[in-house]
Amino acid sequence: MTSAVPPEGEAATPLLARFSPRTQRVLLSYVILLAIYVCCVAVSRDFLTWSTMRLQLVQATFIGLITIGETFAILIGQIDLSVPWTITLSAVLGTNLSALYGHQWVAFAVVILIGGAVGLLNTLGVYVLRVHSLIWTLSVNLLLQGVALIYTNAVAPTTHIPALARFLALGSVSGVPMAFVVWAFFSALTILALTRFRFGRYIYAIGNRQTTALLSGVPLGRVHALVFVLSGLGAAFVGLMLSGYSSQAYLGMGNDYLLPPIAAVVIGGTRLSGGDGGYFGSIAGALTVVFLQAMLITLNVSEGSRQVVFGAILLSLAFLFLKRGR
Amino acid sequence: MIHRAAKPGPYKIAFSNSYFGNNWRTEMLNIARAYVKQPAVAKYISRFEIQNSGNDVAQEVAQIRQMILGGYDAIVVDGASPSGLDSVIDQAVRQGILVVAFDNTVTTHEAININENQYEMGRLWAEFLAKETGGKGKILMVRGLAGTTVDNDQGDGALAVFKKYPGISTVQVYGNWDVGVNQKVTADALATNHDIAGVWATEGATGALQAFLQVNATLVPMTSESDNGFMMLATQHKLPALVIGQSPALVATAIRAAIAVLAGQPLPRDANIPLNPVTTEQMKAGVNYFPNLPNSFVTNISIPQCDVSIPVDAVVK
C-alpha cells in the first residue's frame, strides 16, 4: 500500500506549510499587527496603557464596521467606494430629522433607509446593469455628495445629536468602550455568517467563479443585493456613530473613510480578486491601520513624510499579500 | 492705490462665487444677500446678482465674461484659482469694470484684493499661548491642510513667535480644518504627550477641545477660529482661549470697497481687513457666539471696523 501523503509529523514539513494558504495569510496579518504594535510600544510606552488602547479601539471600530461590508464586497470580486458620502449623508440627515421629530430613533430609521437605498442602488448598477463596481460605486458616492449639498443648502444643520449616538461612540460599559462592544458583536456575527451560514458559502462560490455559482443554484441577485445593502448599512451606521463622536454632523466628515477600510481588508489577507479570505483577518487589518496612524502621529514627523511612510507601508504590505496569493 | 473718477450711482454689481459646499460659504452668500438690502447700502445698488461656478475655473471664467457683457459697473470675486481668472479679470478692467477679489484672492494687479492676514492670525494665537504658559512648556499645534498657503502662513506666524521662547517646544499634527480629524489627531497626541501646556488650533478646534474632554485630560489654554461649538465649550469650561477667524462678512467689505471706488474714493490695491480677536472673558452668548445655533456655525459675521454689521437671523435661514 503506497500513499502520496507523507506520514504525519514528518520533520521535513515546515510548520507553516501544515496550514492551508488561507490560514497562513490570516496568521501573517496577525504577525504584522503584532509587529506594528511592538513598534508602537517602542515609540511610546503609553501604548501599554488601557486609556491609550481605548482610544485606538474606538478608532478601529469605525474602520472595522465599514470593513465588514467591504470584506463581503471584495470576497464576491466587487468593491464599494460609496462609503464616504453614505457616512456624511446618513449623519447629516439622521441628526437633522431626529431633531426635527424630537425622537432619537428617527436617526436609526434614517440609517436603515439610507444604507438600504445606497445598497440597492449599488446592486442595480453592479448586478443588473453590469457596470464595473469601481466606476458605479464611485459615481454613487458623487451622487450622494450632491444630495448632501442640496439638502444642507436648504436646511440649517442641527446642534442636536441623539444621545444614543454619543453613547455608542464615546460611552463605555464597565471600562470597555461601547463602540468596541458593538464591533465585537458584529464581528462575531460576520465570522459566523461567513463560516457557518449558507450566505457565506454563496459568497465564496460567487467570488471563485460566478458562472459555476449560478449553475449550482446560487441566487446571485439576492446575494449581491445583501452584500451591498450590508455595506451601505455599515457605512450609514458609522456615520451616526461619528456624529456622536465629534458631537456634530458636517459636510465631508466621511472623506477619511474611503481607503483605510480597503487597506484593512487587504492587510487582513483577503484577495482583491475575490473568493478567498475572511473577516477574521480584516479585524487584524483594521487594528493595524489604526495603530500605524497613531504611531506616525506620536513620532511627530512632518505631514509629508507621514503620508509617504503610511503609503509606503501599506503598499509593501499589499505587495506581500499579492505575492503570496499567486 | 486705485483712484477712479467718480461715477454717478446707483451701481450694477455682480458677484462671481467659486463654491458653496461648506458652512462658511453658505453663511457668506447669505451675508452678501442681506448686506445689499441694508438701507445704507441699497441706495447705491440698482442691481445685484450672484453666480456660483461649482469650483470650476473654466465655468467661472465664462460667468465673468457674461458679467462683462451684462454691463455691470463692478464684479466681486471669490476665485476658484489664484491665477486662472487673471486674463478674464484683466479683460473686465480694460472694459472699465472694477474688480474686487476677496477670500481666495487673485494674482493680477488689475484687481483689488481684500483678505485677512493669516500670518498675523497665527502670530496672535502664538503670542496668546506664550503669555498664558509663561513662555514655557509643550505646545500642541493642530494645523490645517498641509501644503496650502493658508496653513503655511498661519504656521509660519506661530513658529516665528515660539522660536523666541527657548522654553517652548512644539508638537505638530494636521487636523485638515475638520472637526473629526482634529479630535482624532489630538486624542492620539494626548495619549503619548502628558505634558501639553497649550493648544494652538485653527479651524476645527472644537474637535481638539472635545478630545481633551473625551480623555478627561486637564484643560489648557487653547486657540481656535470662530467655531460656535468651540466658543460654547470654552465658556462652559471657563477655558482660557483666543478666537480669531476668517470672517464670512469679508464679502460685505468687498461690496463696500467696490461702491467706495466707484464713488471716486481712493483705496489701496491690497487691503488686509483688521482681525477681531475674542478671548473667553469677551465671549457673550447671543452677541459673538450663539448657544441655539449649530456647533459648526461661523460666529464672526460682523466686522465693526469696516462698518459691516449683519444680524444673525439674516445669516441663518
Q: Name the DSSP letter for residue B105.
A: -
Interface contact A294-B173, CB threshold 8 A: no
> Taking residues B280-302, what's their average pLDDT?
90
Alpha-carbon gap, residue A278 to B178, rounded angstroms: 33
Give A39→chain B minimum CA distance, Å. Answer: 14
> To the nearest whole angstrom, how far is the Cα of A25 from the nearest Cα of chain B?
30
Question: Which residue in the set B172, B185, B229 is minimally distant from A248, CB to CB?
Answer: B229
Tens of pLDDT along B242-254? 999 999 999 999 9
What pLDDT sits at residue A151? 83
- Per the omega criterion (within 30 degrees of 0), is the bond before B268 cis? no
Say whether A304 and B146 touch across the interface (CB within 8 A): yes
Cα gap A6→A192, rounded to integer Å: 33
Interface contact A250-B296, CB threshold 8 A? yes
How many CB pairs (< 8 A) connect A and B?
Answer: 92
Task: Count the neighbouring beta carbons within 10 Å of the beta carbon of residue A309.
Answer: 15
Burial B25-60 (b: 16+ CB within 10 A, else e): bbbbbbbbebbbeeeebeebbeebeebbbebebebb
Whether residues A157 and B21 touch (CB distance < 8 A) is answered with no
Q: What is the mean pLDDT of chain B?
A: 92
In chain B, which residues have their Cβ closer than 8 Å to the Cβ of A44? Answer: 191-192
DSSP three-state, residue B303: strand
Consecutive sets of 10 residues in chain A, 326 residues long: mean pLDDT of each?
Answer: 47 70 88 94 89 90 97 95 96 90 90 97 96 95 90 68 91 91 97 95 92 89 97 97 89 87 92 90 95 86 80 79 58
Q: What is the pLDDT of residue A322?
A: 66
Question: Which pLDDT score, from 0 to 100, does residue B317 have?
Answer: 66
Residue A298 to residue B189, Cβ atoms within 8 A: yes
Check CB contact under 8 Å for B187 and A252.
Answer: no
Give the C-alpha separation, A285 to A288, whole Å.
5
- The DSSP secondary-structure symbol of B18 reads -
How many angstroms separate the CA of residue A291 from the nearest CA in chain B? Answer: 10
The shortest C-alpha distance from A145 to chain B (Å) reads 10
Type of residue found at A234: G
Distance (Å, whole) CA B207 – CA B213: 10
- Domains contained in chain B, CATH given: 11-116+247-273 (3.40.50.2300), 118-243 (3.40.50.2300)
pLDDT, position A153: 66
Interface test with A, best of B295, B312, B315 (most A CBs within 10 A): B295
Domain A56-309 class? mainly alpha
Helix (DSSP H) and strand (DSSP E) numbers for chain B: 11, 12
Q: How far is A149 from chain B (nearest CA, A)?
A: 6
Q: If you measure CA to CA, which chain B residue comes closest to A301? A: B172
B172-197 confidence digits (pLDDT tens): 999 888 888 899 999 989 988 889 99
Residue B17 has pLDDT above 80, yes or no: yes
Best B179, B193, B298 member to test A by mutation, with max A CBs in 10 Å, is B179
Which pLDDT value is given to residue A279? 96
Would you state the cell numbers that stand for residue B293, as one nine-digit string?
445655533
What is the predicted pLDDT for the residue at A297? 83
Mean pLDDT for B214-228 is 93
